[in-house]
Structure 1
Amino acid sequence: MVQLLCSSKVSEKLTQELSKYQIEVNKDSDVALVEQGYELPSEKICIVFDAIEYMDVVKLLVSGIREDMHMMHRFTGLSENKFAVMEPLDVLYVEAGPDGIMAYTKSNRYSIKETLQYYENIWAVKGFIRINKSQLVNLLHVKEIIPWFNSRYVLRIDNDIELEVSKMFSKKLRNTLKL
C-alpha cells in the first residue's frame, strides 16, 4: 500500500501499473511516492521520483515489497501440453516472440503468461536484466561477455547459446556488471 503525491496524469499511470502487482494506492499508507516538485509529507517514508522515470519507482517497489511473495519464487510454464512448476534460477533467458513469452531452461522451453516487462520488474532482484527489446537474461548463467562492434556485446550462456545485447541496453549491462 502506497500514497501517491504527483500530477493526475502520472497518478493514473502509476495506479494502473501498481495494480498489476496488487499494490494498493491509499492515503493512509506509511510509504509515499512523491513526484519531484511536490511537498514531502512528514512522518512517512518518501520515495521521490522524476515523472519521466515513474516505471523505475514501480520496479523498486516490486523488487523490494514483493520479494517474499510466493509467485516470485516459483512460476508455471507450459510445454508439450503439460504444466511445469519452476524456479526463476532455472531459466537461462526469457524471450518475447510470435508465440508469446517463452522461458528457456537448459533442457526445454516453456510458454509463460504475463509480459516481458512484468518479468523484468519481478525478477530484477533474481539477477535478470533486459538485453534488448525482446529478451531478458539471467546473469547467473552468463559464461562469457564478448565485446561486439558498435558498443554492443554478445553474451554466451549455458548450452553455448549466444544472445546479443543491443546498443540501447549495453550501457545498463556495463553499469550493472561494472564493466
Structure 2
Amino acid sequence: MVQLLCSNRVYEKLKQELSKYQIDIKQDSDLVLVESGFDLPREKLCVVFEAIDYMDVIKLLVSGARGDLHFTNTVTGLSDNKFAVIEPRDVIYIEAGSDGLLAHTKSKPYSIKETLQYYESLWAARGFIRINKSQIVNLLHVKEIVPWFNSRYVLRMDNHAELEVSKMFSKKLRNTLNI
C-alpha cells in the first residue's frame, strides 16, 4: 500500500503499473512516492523520483516490498491444454512470438502471460537478462558464449538452443558477466 504525490499523467502510469503487482494506492499509507517538485509529507517515509524514472520506482517497490510473495517466484504456463506451475530456475529462456510469450524449459515450451519487460524486471535479480528485442535468458542455463560478428554473441543453452545476442544488448551482457 502506497500513497502517490505526483502529476496526473505520472499518477495514471504508476496506478497502472502498481495494479500489475497488486500494490494498492491509499491516501493514508506510511510510504509515499513523491514526484520531484512536490512537497514532502511530514512523518512519512518518502521516495522521491523524477517523472521520467517512474519505472525505477516500480522496480524498487517490487524487488523490496513484494519479493517475499509466492507469485513472483513462479509462473503459470500452458502446454498441451494443461497448466503447470514453473519455477524461474527451470525457465531456460523466454521469447516473444506471434502467439505471445513462450517460456522454454528443458522438457517443453509453455505459453505464458504478461510481457517480456515484466519478466525482465521481475526476475533480473534471479539472473535473467534481455539479449535481443524478443528474448530474455536465464544466465544459469548458458553453457557457452561464442563471440560472433559485429560485436555480437551466440549463447548455447542447456536445451541445445543457440540464441543470438544483438549488438544493442551485447554491452549489457559483457558488463553483467565481466567479459
Classify the TM-score, shorter chain.
0.7 to 0.9
| 2:165 alignment partner in structure 1 | 165
Hey, what's the Cα distance between the residues in 2 that align with 1:168 and 1:42? 44
Q: Which residue of 1 aligns with 2:62?
A: 62
Q: Which moved more, 1:92-101 or 1:151-160?
A: 151-160
What's the counterpart of residue 137 of structure 2?
137
Partner of 2:7: 7
- 1:9-158 pair list within 5 angstroms: 9-158=9-158
- Give distance in 2, aligned partners of 1:50 and 1:149: 38
CA contact (8 A) 1:146 1:155 kept: yes
1:160 is paired with a residue whose SS is: coil
Quick one: distance in 2 between partners of 1:40 and 1:72? 31
Between Structure 1 and Structure 2, how many residues are aligned?
179
Runs of 5+ in structure 1 lacking a partner?
A: none
Q: Cα distance, 1:9 vs. partner?
A: 0.8
Distance 1:166 1:31, change over 3 A: farther
Name the TM-score, length of structure 1 as normaliser.
Answer: 0.87
Which ranges in structure 2 are unaligned for 5 or more consecutive residues?
A: none
Change (3 A) 1:60 1:151: farther
Instruction: Report if aligned partners of 1:63, 1:123 keep a CA contact under 8 Å in 2.
Output: no
How far did 1:78 drift? 1.3
Deviations, residues 130-176 of structure 1 (Å, cap 9, x unaligned):
22221111111122333333343322221232222223333333343
Counterparts in 2 of 1:46 and 1:169: CA distance versus 1, 3 Å = farther
Show CA shifts across 1:69-95 (max 9, x none): 121222221112222222111000011
In the alignment, residue 162 of structure 1 is paired with which amino acid? Answer: E
Distance 1:175 1:7, change over 3 A: farther
Could you tell me how far apart the structure 2 residues matched to 1:32 and 1:6 are? 10
Deviation at 1:41, TM superposition (A): 3.2
Q: 1:21 is matched by which residue type in structure 2?
A: Y
Identity %: 73
For 2:149 and 2:29, the matched residues in 1 are separated by 49
Counterpart CA distance in 2 for 1:44 and 1:131 is 40
TM-score with structure 2 setting the length? 0.87
> RMSD over aligned Cα, in angstroms?
2.0
